[in-house]
Amino acid sequence: MYVLLFLILISQGIHCLQCHQDERSTLLQLKSSFTISTSTDFYDYDDQYYKSTWPPETDSWDENTNCCTAWSGVTCDNASWHVIKLDLSCSSRILGTLSSNNSLVFLNHLQRLDLSRNDFRGSPTSSKFGQFKNMTHLFLFESNFSGLVPLEISNLSNLISFELSSYEFRATAEMKAATFKAIVQNRKSPKQLLLASVYMSNVPPSLMMNFSSSSLESLDLSFCFCKKIITCKYVQYIRLQPFITKYFTNNVSKIIML
């Protein structure tokens, strides 16, 4: 009797240390939908050199191992064993499209998602990215996402950092005024908003003024095609055009857009 109970406890204990089955299959499905580029070195527009991770993170994603402990780029909560961080940044340049109904939503405990420095071939910035209740960091920069930034991004009420910069001279992603307004006026708006090359010409300067009441600390609006003058009272770091970067130690009152 006690032996049986002991065995049940043990098996449950072992079960708890495994990653969740649905999250594992979501990750495997994701892996199978991408190819990996063989050119692993590249420069960004700041002329910074990056070397992609090799072997790619996903090489360690073996269905016979525990995704929480053996899979590179995957971090689980050590109490619930749900996947809370997924880092595929620069993962040897993932190539592939991420459909708008992508299965990432099944990782609904994610707090940090980093897909930066890959090539998602102009995939839309999925509205599903707005479904993660506890998301604090969403890094999609230099990854060839395009289209409208979905309004649902403003649903991420715990978001600290949102980065979608692409540093290409032509904008491929676009932010509507209503979306920008919803993000900035969130009860708890982000601290970092890096949106270089996101087309924002429809965002009126009056909306930019509302940064003064937000918690924003860093703002990158280079190549945004924004208009006229913006007033950002508390922003400490701002970049409006390439090579025009300012760190402010004091409050800023006015910046002329170039």
Ligand X SMILES: *[C@@H]1O[C@H](CO)[C@@H](O)[C@H](O)[C@H]1NC(C)=O
Between 58 and 102, name the residue whose CB sits nearer to ligand X: 102
Pick the binder of ligand X from 119, 137, 159, 162 (CB under 6 A).
Answer: 119
Instruction: Provide the 10 A C-beta neighbour count for residue 9.
Output: 10
Cross-strand partners of 43: 49
CA-wise closest residue to 64 among 28, 98, 97, 39: 28
Query: Interacting stretch for ligand X, rule CB under 6 A, among 9-17, 46-54, 101-109, 239-247?
Result: 101-109
Between 55 and 122, name the residue whose CB sits nearer to ligand X: 122
Query: Interacting stretch for ligand X, rule CB under 6 A, among 5-13, 37-45, 60-68, 202-210?
Result: 202-210
Instruction: Provide the 10 A C-beta neighbour count for residue 135.
Output: 25
Site for ligand X contains 103 (CB under 6 A): yes
Pick the binder of ligand X from 1, 4, 14, 79 (CB under 6 A).
Answer: 79
**Residues at the contact surface with ligand X, assessed by CB under 6 A:** 77-79, 99, 101, 103, 108-109, 119, 121-122, 130, 133-134, 144, 151-152, 155, 181, 206-207, 210, 213, 234, 250-251
